[in-house]
Chain A
Amino acid sequence: AQSVAQPEDQVNVAEGNPLTVKCTYSVSGNPYLFWYVQYPNRGLQFLLKYITGDNLVKGSYGFEAEFNKSQTSFHLKKPSALVSDSALYFCAVRREDSNYQLIWGAGTKLIIKP
């Protein structure tokens, strides 16, 4: 079955330190993978996506993600965290049987402490 897992409900990082938000997926074919961010009381905003090509994808606000096919992972990273990065982060993968549907992870709350 197709699925996405975000194994951490919450990640705490000190400002200035590198951050990683984890995502693993399960699809039988080539995955289309996404990261979105949700700030409090707002809708989701697109960060980055992997469709094909370079395994390291760069996105908005200094974020990047590394696609690892052997580990079926797509972890979100940033070299130096900002307090303003505190938000809810969602990983998603496109359903293999639909051009229009994404399977979403449950979300990871990222807290950056000053």
Chain B
Amino acid sequence: NAGVTQTPKFQVLKTGQSMTLQCAQDMNHNSMYWYRQDPGMGLRLIYYSASEGTTDKGEVPNGYNVSRLNKREFSLRLESAAPSQTSVYFCASSERTSTDTQYFGPGTRLTVL
């Protein structure tokens, strides 16, 4: 039982490059989330998926796209990376809504030069 897994753990991009962050959960959760964490700012929600086949914007969606590939997997894509997207990205899942416990992955540390 691995919980929530994320790949890669680290990534360095040049401005304008694209990449996809992968996330998978094995807890049969309906809801999945993508957050970014910046120093002194807590967590900010980028996108979430309440159930397979649905996605919705969070607080800071600009510059990102997501895909809920199936119930297990939820990917985050940066089409044209910018230095402002340098951050630590966390994927999380919960059984249903945000009042259920959220389980977090280990994070991806992304640097955009």
Contacts and interface: CB of A to CB of B under 8 A. Distances in A.
Interface in A20-41: 32, 36, 41
A35 to B, nearest CB: 11
A36 B40 CA distance: 16
Interface string B31-45: 101000000111111
B99 interface: yes
A94 B98 contact: yes
B13 to A, nearest CB: 20
A101 B45 contact: yes
Interface residues on B, range: 20 to 34
A100 B101 contact: no
A74 interface: no
A100 B47 CA distance: 10
A90 B40 CA distance: 11
Given A43-B4, A51-B99, A94-B98, A104 B106 contact: no
B48 interface: yes
A9 B4 CA distance: 28
A104 B43 contact: yes
B97 A43 contact: no
B90 A44 contact: yes
B41 A101 contact: no
Interface SS, A side? loop
Given A43-B4, A106-B40, A100 B106 contact: no
Contacts of B33: 100
B104 interface: yes
B104 A102 contact: no
Contact of A99 (B40, B98, B106): B98
Given A44-B104, A100-B48, A101-B58, A90 B42 contact: yes
Contacts of B58: 101
B56 interface: yes
B99 A45 contact: no
Contacts of B102: 36, 44, 46, 102
A44 to B, nearest CB: 5
A102 B45 contact: yes
